[in-house]
Amino acid sequence: MLFENLKPKVTQILTKEDKPLTDRLHSVCQLLKDSITYYDWVGFYFKNGDKEELKLRTYVGEATDHEIIPFGKGICGQVAISNENFVVPDVQAQDNYIACSFTVKSEIVIPLFKAGENIGQIDIDSETPNPFTEKDERFLEFVNQEVAKIL
């Protein structure tokens, strides 16, 4: 039920045309982090121009050094190539994981499509082992669909 209650709030934030795009994305990150107990870091990465890399646009949570991620590197970089959701129940079990913080236990990354092209993603780190379900995936797909409408 939580996800259903958050959907109209996400849409409301994103459709506030008087606010800059990055501010709206940041507000969505804040809403998700504040509303879902196991969402400890929430951020949006986007393709960095014509480069084969992602650039962090905005986030809420602990500071990160990973503002640029090459395609193929880490979970986010893999999603940039695969175009598929990636749920990591245990980051320690992933060979290609880029550690942001020793407190992170799991991660979910959902690609963001505009006109059929993977242009970015929402990335969520959790300090809780294996908290993400199919409901998280469907909700975050909804969030990305709403974001795509304003890009």
Q: 18: buried, middle or exposed (CB in 10 Å: 19+, 13-18, 0-12)?
A: exposed
Q: Which residue would you say has higher pLDDT here, 94 or 125? A: 125
pLDDT of residue 1: 79
Nearest C-alpha neighbor of 32 from the set 108, 89, 113, 87: 108
Which tens digits make up the pLDDT trace of 54-86? 999 999 999 998 999 999 999 999 999 999 999
List, in sequence order, every residue forming a beta bridge with 47; answer none if it has no partner: 54
Gap between the Cα atoms of 77 and 75, Å rounded: 5
Taking the model in full, what pTM does it have? 0.96
